[in-house]
Structure 1
Amino acid sequence: MTNDANRNRASFPVFDEITTRWADNDLYGHVNNVTYYAWFDSSVNRYLIEEGGLDIHRGDNIAYVVSSSCDYFSPIAYPERVEAGLRVEKLGNSSVIYNIGIFRQGEDEACALGKFVHVFVDRETDRPVPVPQGIRTALEKLLVQ
């Protein structure tokens, strides 16, 4: 389980603004759990593209999600505006473990905390490769000790 310090806004170096959509709500009146995973994927990949230079269409290397999970603490519902905080828990040779906190705008404690693991692979061979240098440099900025 997660301790409270890990859920604090101050422990995330970068944020991505998200607008909930009507379709995100489920029959229970809150954002469905699968939507959080889409937010994780979008936030991580946006950072990799914009800050690390990941070329998702023509690059030699791509990243596969090999594991993901989420702990939920309080519900979110449309029409709330939320932010995804991003940090790196561990940066390995060919893999990275991200933590993504989902926050209501202006709140200090995450409503949900995700873990997301990428392995970088060669697009042609599907074999693991070292994290490309530009991406590694971008990810090092998010590494939280």
Structure 2
Amino acid sequence: MTRPLPHLRAAYPYHHPLQTRWADNDVYGHINNVTYYAYFDTAVNAYLAARGALDLQSGAVIGLVVETGCAFFAPAAFPEPLSVGVRVAHLGRSSVRYELAVFQEAADTACAQGHFVHVYVDRGTRRPVDFPDPLRGALAALQPV
């Protein structure tokens, strides 16, 4: 398996600012690897909620994670401010592949990058559903042109 190269900040149409927390660090003095997944989740859901594309509390449609991955390139640590770049690599009928990258404040290359595949389902039945128009529009805006 070939190791990916870190992506550039400009490759991501949306950036969500994050302030690291003391609890994000592990005993080795840097952000723990599992915390990056929480950063990814926060960035995606903040983007969708801000655009009215996803009602996290009572919406009929919710996204379930079915696949994740992450590659690490440089350590980050509290109290660094970070940002998470978000883009959509594939948009299907009910599934989307998000690509995400974490950037340190002054860096143009990612210190970590990964992906999430979400399948959007009916909240009650947990069966896949077509994207509602507002959600499809918000996701389409994250695709490269």
Please tell me the TM-score bracket, short chain as reference. over 0.9
1:82-129 deviation line (CA, Å, top 9, x unaligned): 000000010011000001110001310000001011100011111000
* Partners of 2:24 and 2:125 in 1: CA distance: 36
C-alpha deviation, 1:77, in angstroms: 0.8
Q: What amino acid is the match of 1:104?
A: Q
C-alpha deviation, 1:2, in angstroms: 2.2
Residues 7-86 of structure 1 correspond to what in structure 2 (within 5 A)?
7-86=7-86
Counterpart of 2:87 in structure 1 is 87
| 8 Å Cα contact 1:52/1:137 also seen in 2 | no
TM score, norm. by length of structure 2: 0.94
* Partners of 2:71 and 2:38 in 1: CA distance: 15
Aligned residues with identical type, % of pairs: 49
Counterpart of 1:133 in structure 2 is 133
Q: What amino acid is the match of 1:26?
A: D
* Partners of 1:96 and 1:52 in 2: CA distance: 18
Tell me the number of residue pairs that the alignment of Structure 1 and Structure 2 aligns: 143
Q: Secondary structure at the match of 2:51?
A: helix
Counterpart of 2:96 in structure 1 is 96
C-alpha deviation, 1:52, in angstroms: 4.3
1:52–1:92 distance in 2 versus 1, CA, 3 Å: farther
Counterpart of 1:2 in structure 2 is 4
Q: Secondary structure at the match of 1:40?
A: helix
In the alignment, structure 2 segments of 5+ residues that lack a partner are none
